[in-house]
Amino acid sequence: MPYCKICGSGTVVVYLPYAKMSLCQNCFLEFYVKRVKKTVEEYKMFREDDVVGVAVSGGKDSSALLHSLRKAFPKLELKALHINLGIPEYSEHCESKVKLLAKSLDTELITYDIRERLGFTVEDFMETRFRRKICSICGTIKRHIFEEMALEAKVRVLATGHNLDDMVSVMLNTFFNGHWSQLIRIKPILPPLADGMAYKVKPLIRSLEKENLLYCMYSEVPIRSLGCPHSNQTGIRKYMQLLEKLSEEDPGFKYIILNRFLELIPIIENAVPKPTLTQCKVCGFPSTNEICSYCKRTSLVKQKEDNY
Cβ neighbour number for residue 80 with a 10 Å cutoff = 24
Site residues for Zn ion per CB under 5 A: 4, 6-7, 9, 24, 27, 280, 282-283, 292, 295
Residue 233 or 279: which CB sits closer to Zn ion? 279
Minimum distance of Zn ion from residue 31's CB (angstroms): 9
Minimum distance of Zn ion from residue 204's CB (angstroms): 22
Minimum distance of Zn ion from residue 235's CB (angstroms): 25
From CA 53, how far away is CA 50, in angstroms rounded?
Answer: 10
From CA 258, how far away is CA 247, in angstroms rounded?
Answer: 13
Greatest pairwise CA separation for the chain in angstroms: 68
For residue 288, report the phi and psi dihedrals to the nearest 5 degrees: -85, -15
From CA 66, how far away is CA 55, in angstroms rounded?
Answer: 8
Minimum distance of Zn ion from residue 27's CB (angstroms): 3
For 69, 277, 295, the CA distances from 161, given in Å and listed in that order, are 11, 26, 25
Residue 111 or 293: which CB sits closer to Zn ion? 293
Minimum distance of Zn ion from residue 6's CB (angstroms): 5
Minimum distance of Zn ion from residue 38's CB (angstroms): 19
Minimum distance of Zn ion from residue 278's CB (angstroms): 11
Contact between 178 and 256 under an 8 Å Cβ cutoff? The reply is: no
Residue 9 or 233: which CB sits closer to Zn ion? 9
User: Which residues are CB-neighbours of 29 under 8 A, at least 6 positions away?
Assistant: 215, 218, 219
